[in-house]
Amino acid sequence: MLSLVRGGTREIFLKLKDWGVIDSVAVKFPLVEKKHEDAWDSSSEGQTLIFATMKGRSLGEIRVFLADSSPGEILAFMLNEGLCDKLEKASVLPRTILFRVSGDYSEVMEQMKQDFDAKVGKIPLFLRWTDSGGRVAVMFTRNNLNRPIAIKDLFPDVLYIQMPYEQLLRNLRSRAMSYFNEARGHADWRSLEIRVYDMWERYPLQAKRLRLVLDELEIGLVLGEGRGKDFAHILMPVPVYRFHLATFLEPERIKEILMGMEYSASGKRLVDLDLFEGKKKTGWGAIAEKDEDRERAGVRLRKQLMEDLLPS
């Protein structure tokens, strides 16, 4: 699956007369306190950041909490529990949408600006922006969207679009691939074939591993897969499992991922994963460092793959 657009973290601002409001909310919705400067970095879609301060305190004394619930659920709880008289003010901050790009993000941003009559802003201003005026902030990143996106991973420009959030999200999703290709200059996608060879014929396991990695890294679209025979020599059929992948990445980057899957941490060869574009094979030599043999390249790329799959 390739996710190109998703909603951002929800945010609410609470000015309190009594800090007991936060204590009560924490009983119903477990809260994790975050540092103000990196609260956004560890949050994701479906979560809410609560910015809370006491009446009469400066903005520098705001404390930030992360909840696995929506602003509506939190505010409804406070209303039903009779906590509103302990509130000075409650505000729902602007909605956000994240859009993934590959290539020149300014191209897709300019196209969206024209399509939606958007205004351009900057990330620092967005973080201080509390008067949304009904606008939604659309931000851009190169990172895949199935994990938290840090502020440092966002491009500096933000689009402010005057449209109801759900309507805008539907519009962007329906046109996501067109915008994504716009940023790439409408360059052709690469049509690649991954051939899996396992001397122990553990093909269901190897196919599951490969699907997991391809889904997690969101590097393209799997157009088909299945068992077959390969003829390494005349009249000598070899079992093989094939994946047909459409990707916006170069074959060398895909080969790095496959090499990382071929080896264990100790350097043991687990499986052969060959990569072809048409009849052209991308070999390991194209991605090995100077004076690096296949085993050392595989161990290095395995470490890199694990870091990509399990980001800090």
- Candidates 194, 192, 176; CA nearest to 184 is 176
Q: pLDDT, tens digit, for every residue of 220-251? A: 999 999 999 887 666 678 899 999 999 999 99
Kindly state whether residues 197 and 304 are assigned to the same domain: yes
Mean pLDDT of 130-157: 87
Both 80 and 40 in one domain: the answer is yes
The answer to whether 122 touches 79, Cβ cutoff 8 Å, is no
Residues 104 and 175 in one domain: yes
Residues 6+ apart with CB under 8 A from 179: 4, 99, 101, 108, 111, 112, 172
Question: Are 198 and 248 part of one and the same domain?
Answer: yes
pLDDT, position 131: 55
pLDDT score for 123: 82
> What mean pLDDT, rounded, does the chain reach?
92
Question: Which of 132, 157, 183 lies at the terminal end of a domain, its last residue?
Answer: 183
How buried is 7 (Cβ within 10 angstroms: 0-12 exposed, 13-18 middle, 19+ buried)?
middle
Question: How confident is the model over 170-180, as a mean pLDDT?
Answer: 97
Q: State whether 65 and 140 are in the same domain.
A: no
Domain of 117, in residue numbers: 96-183
Q: Say if residue 133's pLDDT is above 70.
A: no
Is residue 131 domain-shared with residue 215, that is, in the same domain? no
Q: What band does 10 get if pLDDT is binned at 50, 70 and 90?
A: very high
- Tell whether the model's pLDDT for residue 112 goes beyond 80: yes
Q: Give per-residue pLDDT as tens, 259-293.
A: 999 999 889 999 999 999 999 999 999 999 989 99
Total domains in the chain come to 3
Q: Which residue has the higher pLDDT, 218 or 231?
A: 218
Per-residue confidence (pLDDT) for residue 55, from 0 to 100: 87
Per-residue model confidence (pLDDT) at position 127: 62
Residues 289 and 209 in one domain: yes
Same domain for 174 and 285, yes or no, is no
How far apart are the C-alpha atoms of 96 and 75, rounded to whole Å?
19
Residue 60: per-residue pLDDT: 67
